Structure 1
């Protein structure tokens, strides 16, 4: 599509493109050669000409139940006509409590308190504050440090950027918030081309012990990890790795936080990756698929022991946790989330994801035959395919996602890694089509 076309262009009087500043986008390049969606339905986006683009990225890990679900649209419409907004400061509405109850049914036992926010980035920063509040409430006022990992992504607010371990996310803003140290990530050369949990790397969990020995456990509030590091390219934990982190955190009074903004709501075949890997953290952040991507919403699930320590030690009549957002537990977002949870339950989409994952990973693994492919990793319904750099990190990956769009597939790339995270309503034919298009597109890249 040329930017001079009248539907949407930098200079058109119909709809101008010159005023919006797009996130995570080379804006000048995009406006010279824009790629636009005009509509969506089920497994597909459609461009402005009505050409279908298979959504192999579930939007942005957001939309596993497929696009434009009537059930969610109807719930949002009804809610807007009944109660369009209420503050959550000193007020509430019934659907927020209903949603809390529904989420507790999905969460690991004991994680039964929910704090609602509007994005994954807000959820991470909120979780950081909860960790600090907990440590102070129990008298451990010196615990103000956080441990995260290299190649981690925890959103774009200042706290999450400090936790993040991807250089381009940290380069400009990562040092504004101090007191964050990083463990190694779990990628290892000897684990290349292993799908499922890789064989090697459990011992890297002991990096946490090394940091405790360096900084003192009495100074560390919490350890944040993505069970599967998603946005960096799908780094799956080896067996025993998360278990060892849990063991070390428990022994040293450090809270363990799972960032499940990507992993949550069935991506690993269970409601949360905590259940897939059999490890219960103290807090879980969630977002994206909470509303099937229809309305912005996120939440922090908090273990009862953490919540009760904060609330029970506060004076009577005092605000126990001095934090919140205008849009916390927005009634329309709650309505959308409840409708999405109904779809996941009634259509057994988490179970469907679990059943489909074997075939999905088998098909993605066939891409290793391509000379340009340097590694493949995956678990459940998410996989990462690394391609050989052309000497400028990320340039080939950026070109790949544009060429895939033109060929009829949408997915996310990070650097030189293609991340496939298909919708749970995909049939085998959609997986086959996705892999075939990825294969034919990659075949044009020189190794």
Structure 2
């Protein structure tokens, strides 16, 4: 796709005006107390393909694809047209006692892509509400089956599952929960399956076996009769693109099946082409979950939509119970939104028509080119799968320790890359890259070249300031 031209009618002055308005009126996501309600962030004025334009007219490669979501790229006319046409046909209907055609058709099509007997879809407004839906369904399921004590949830360190109360309770990333409350009495956190951070002298296979044994012991200690679900991302995205050891997920799936624990796969990031398939659970990892969570790429970020795909077996269990009157009292005003579902249908058309094939073809090159950054002294590991990757910076390669000023390193790299033409998502001392699936090999070369220069400039800064001597 051709490079985007600078925005007409937009100026640095208008961007500064927007920033001033934001400081006075807009509360940003994830603020700190010292600046909450009194901060602004960089303005993005327009976008096209894999590029965005900032408030000063600079064209940047959208390295994180928004937030893992702009899978088909920006300014995709087919998606915009689908929104318009559906809004002119039917802009909204209440899901409480009516339904619309796009939601039914989309549910059917998603069921054809989902593994096993995952045939039933509950639509939400995004990933957090989808996780919340799956967990509330688990609670309802066990209540109806006469097992009200079977409600504990197993999650992992490094996990990220959302910002609503119950979904956020599962989060295990550093600093996410330092000042926030959660349903801690319902959640047990297990070890992050990060091979890079495995104990010294331990093989990846031994590390995997220890994780599986930890899971098994947790089930024995807590009691299978008290554990309702395990929730896990096939690849832990916001935790630093953690790809678990081979065989880990299938072993956990088997333990869950043996102990009647629902295996809930959070595919909010890994779904809709990020790993080359509509869903990655079966195609990439060989597992068939009880529930799959999705959002983000389902509409390529053009409309807020998410959902949970639920096993037909679970539905049949409920229908056969002795409590036919029990109500799953859960729903959202915008469940099964007709505009969102129409956009998702067109998004799925485009994915199936060639984008998935392209993503699978270009992903190995993406991973190889990013891996070349490991020759930089600041880079401890580059890891990833499909079109998602993480560049983790460390104080020294031998110990693998992050820098003492780790909160600044990612931001410093991002600032340099911004000047050079690349938008990076900095996560403490890590840089996450998950570009639109339509990215070309040539654009990957440009992206990696800019990232290399941004890291090199950051190393020079740290040395000149006496903060790092490697």
Gaps of 5+ in 2: 1-10, 395-401, 460-469
Q: CA deviation at 1:93?
A: 0.9
Aligned ranges 1:360-371 → 2 under 5 Å: 360-371=366-377
1:54 is paired with a residue whose SS is strand
Q: CA deviation at 1:49?
A: 3.8
Structure 1 counterpart of 2:446, from 433, 436, 439: 433
Structure 1 counterpart of 2:314, from 306, 314, 322: 306
Q: CA deviation at 1:283?
A: 0.5
TM (norm. structure 2) is: 0.88
1:53 is paired with a residue whose SS is strand
Q: Which residue of 1 aligns with 2:356?
A: 350
CA distance in 1, matches of 2:273, 2:36: 35
Structure 2 counterpart of 1:154, from 158, 161, 178: 161
CA distance in 2, matches of 1:208, 1:12: 47
Aligned ranges 1:163-202 → 2 under 5 Å: 163-189=170-196, 201-202=207-208
Is 2:413 aligned against 1:400? yes
2:458 is paired with a residue whose SS is coil
Q: Which moved more, 1:91-100 or 1:265-274?
A: 265-274
Cα shift readout 1:383-419 (whole Å, capped 9, x = no counterpart): 1110124413322112222322222111312111111
Taking only aligned residues, the RMSD between alpha carbons, in angstroms, comes to 2.3
Q: CA deviation at 1:202?
A: 2.1
Q: CA deviation at 1:336?
A: 1.1
Q: CA deviation at 1:116?
A: 0.4
CA distance in 1, matches of 2:321, 2:296: 33
Aligned ranges 1:56-135 → 2 under 5 Å: 56-135=63-142
Gaps of 5+ in 1: 193-197
Contact 2:265–2:293 under 8 Å retained in 1 = yes
CA distance in 2, matches of 1:45, 1:441: 18
Contact 2:44–2:54 under 8 Å retained in 1 = yes
Q: Which moved more, 1:147-156 or 1:101-110?
A: 101-110
Contact 1:201–1:241 under 8 Å retained in 2 = no
TM (norm. structure 1) is: 0.92
Q: CA deviation at 1:11?
A: 8.7
Q: CA deviation at 1:162?
A: 1.0
CA distance in 1, matches of 2:377, 2:425: 21
1:148 is paired with a residue whose SS is strand
Q: Which moved more, 1:135-144 or 1:57-66?
A: 135-144
Q: Which residue of 2 aligns with 1:296?
A: 304
Could you say if the C-alpha distance between residues 52 and 301 of structure 1 is closer, same or farther in structure 2, counting changes exceeding 3 Å?
same
Q: Which residue of 2 aligns with 1:418?
A: 431
Q: Which residue of 2 aligns with 1:287?
A: 295
Structure 1 counterpart of 2:337, from 330, 339, 346: 330
Cα shift readout 1:55-112 (whole Å, capped 9, x = no counterpart): 1211111011111111111111111111111111121111110110111121113111
Q: Which residue of 1 aligns with 2:29?
A: 23
Q: Which residue of 1 aligns with 2:6?
A: none
CA distance in 2, matches of 1:373, 1:16: 35
